[in-house]
Chains A and B, each alone.
Chain A
């Protein structure tokens, strides 16, 4: 595939994400809502992209489709050269597990597990043996090497989100997809988290951040704006 090899080379021109005329319809008949309309987008390996737009603009739908959590109603989605728009649930689960790391607004850590057990979770679904070592390495990368046995409720919001980023990183994914990563954080914690994301991109990791917050967008080198399910404006940083 050549994707992993090119990660270190920054924005390389090799396509990681390619959406072509994607439509997404929710509901049917009179109640049908067109959440994405004829949406096309390309993201290269090593790029960082911020998707902005007010609520209801379709950015959550875009995130679900980019993250292989949902499939388009029509149109095509190539991820790292593979057409993932027609995969079944199990195949999509494998793509998510091996190639995509998620960071959510609500952190989504399991409260009964320690930090490193949370980070280990995605590895359990692909039968990796040295999970502890990989999890500790990922926690080190986000600066939490000294918090490995803490439970989520023993960590600050910013630390929890960094654990979540470590969990996204641990599988060495092609893409990190962050959905309002600072939505639940104070300004200082937000700065920390955004710094971690920027570092990761500088190390060559492809990052897509979805946000409505103009303070967040500068984390990415490229920003697109959405309105009513369409791409309305593209700004190169």
Chain B
């Protein structure tokens, strides 16, 4: 039988069982659409994490306390209290650290701010003038904390734009933090919110005031932010910082450090690894639904072979070879999955178009996952179509004719 007639015969039989064909196709459709949509969402969140981390400044280095190997046990970064204001002073030494442009200690906590018109809970960081440089931020209005504010433990506060808006506070207003009044001296220019957290919902106070009045822990800081003079000097800035800290901490064995310095590149690759894992996880779940769809195709094809036993017998008696029948059933299964796959692509693309507009979730659809999903769908159809097709091809004509 010519391929054309085999296809024609297959199509006739699929159209003869319209509802069944549509339902079988749906299984593949949703599987393919799910793969495309989840990979698209994963890709988009990975991109946005990367964009956000990059926007923090590629010159940034972060010093965290801890990470000591105590008897071979990794303490975990941030677990110690080893960073002090003395370290900050040491790192600010232009002589020893020519490649470090700015230094900003950070001690932060989540607290409630109360203004005349409302209250708002946000992250308050105690820091120094270097915060603005290391975080690559600018002011929208007013001024930032200066060295004098830090030295005098001034009760002044700089607000992120979202925080300022939510508190209804502007320059010169008073905002209470833990019952202590702070004067708003500046509002930061918006940085936009991407991925995790909102960079515009925060507040900064002098580190000395934060230590004394808000979070305690006089003299110690949670983190120290450093910015290298340029992206190319990150390596030497890293070495200088670790040299200085080893000295101030009186550590002679570099394997016994009680601090960790991370660069944005490391953070970036870690974050990307995390989102990639999530994407793979989501895509696997979607792929399983594709597999289930494929089993649905096989199920329907087996039903179809059983139901059409006498037709198969007749076709054999009239001269259909085992090859003719095998091809006819494989083509039927392949058509179900190919149609399901193509509609699934359309639906995946529709999800990619609608979801970002409706739910503020970014979706980035690239050609590769689409191609893979469709090829897998068609492969699934052929693989799961082969067994029923073999059953049809192997039916003995007499037995098949007798089945009524």
Taking beta carbons and an 8 Å cutoff, which residues of A are in contact with B? Answer: 64, 67, 69-70, 89-90, 93-94, 96-98, 102, 104, 106, 108, 110, 112, 121-122, 124-127, 167, 171
Contact = CB atoms under 8 A, between A and B. Distances in A.
Contact of B321 (A64, A90, A108, A112): A90
B75 interface: no
A167 B16 CA distance: 22
A102 B316 CA distance: 11
Contact of A90 (B310, B314, B323): B323
Contact of A94 (B16, B319, B404): B319
A90 B319 contact: no
A102 B318 contact: yes
Contacts of A171: 319
A94 B321 contact: yes
A102 B315 CA distance: 11
Contacts of A64: 398
A69 B398 contact: yes
Nearest to B325: A93
Contacts of A110: 311, 314
Nearest to B12: A112
Interface residues of B, number: 25
B397 interface: yes
A64 B316 CA distance: 12
A70 B399 CA distance: 10
Given A64-B398, A112-B12, A121 B318 contact: yes
B317 A102 contact: yes
Given A124-B1, A124-B5, A70 B319 contact: no
B390 interface: no
Contact of B319 (A104, A106, A108, A126): A126
Contact of A96 (B1, B2, B318): B318
Nearest to B323: A90
Interface in B1-48: 1-2, 5, 9, 12, 16
A108 B310 contact: yes
B404 to A, nearest CB: 7
- Choose among A94, A98, A125 the residue with the greatest number of B CB atoms under 10 Å from its CB: A125
B264 to A, nearest CB: 67
Contacts of B322: 89-90, 93
Contact of A97 (B310, B319, B397, B404): B319
Given A90-B323, A125-B1, 12 more contacts: A69-B316, A93-B320, A93-B321, A98-B319, A108-B310, A110-B311, A110-B314, A121-B315, A122-B318, A124-B9, A125-B321, A171-B319
B205 to A, nearest CB: 82
20 contacts: A69-B316, A69-B401, A70-B396, A70-B397, A70-B398, A93-B319, A93-B324, A94-B319, A96-B317, A102-B317, A108-B317, A108-B401, A110-B311, A110-B314, A121-B318, A124-B9, A125-B1, A125-B318, A125-B320, A125-B321
A93 B316 contact: yes
Contact of A122 (B5, B319, B398, B404): B319
A30 B330 CA distance: 39
B280 to A, nearest CB: 46
B319 A125 contact: yes
- Choose among B314, B315, B323 the residue with the greatest number of A CB atoms under 10 Å from its CB: B314
Contact of B397 (A69, A126, A127, A167): A69
B318 A112 contact: no
B33 to A, nearest CB: 32
B1 A112 contact: no
A122 B5 CA distance: 12
A102 B1 CA distance: 19
Contacts of A121: 315, 318
Nearest to B396: A70
A122 B318 CA distance: 5
Nearest to B402: A60
Contacts of B324: 93, 125
A108 B5 contact: no
Nearest to A102: B317
Nearest to A99: B319
Nearest to B397: A69
A121 B320 CA distance: 10
A114 B2 CA distance: 21
A89 B318 contact: no
A124 B328 CA distance: 13
Contacts of B5: 124
Contacts of B397: 69-70
A148 B316 CA distance: 24
Nearest to A112: B16
B308 to A, nearest CB: 10
B8 to A, nearest CB: 9
Given A112-B12, A125-B1, A69 B317 contact: yes
Contact of A67 (B315, B317, B321, B396): B317
A69 B313 CA distance: 10
A125 B12 CA distance: 16
B16 A97 contact: no
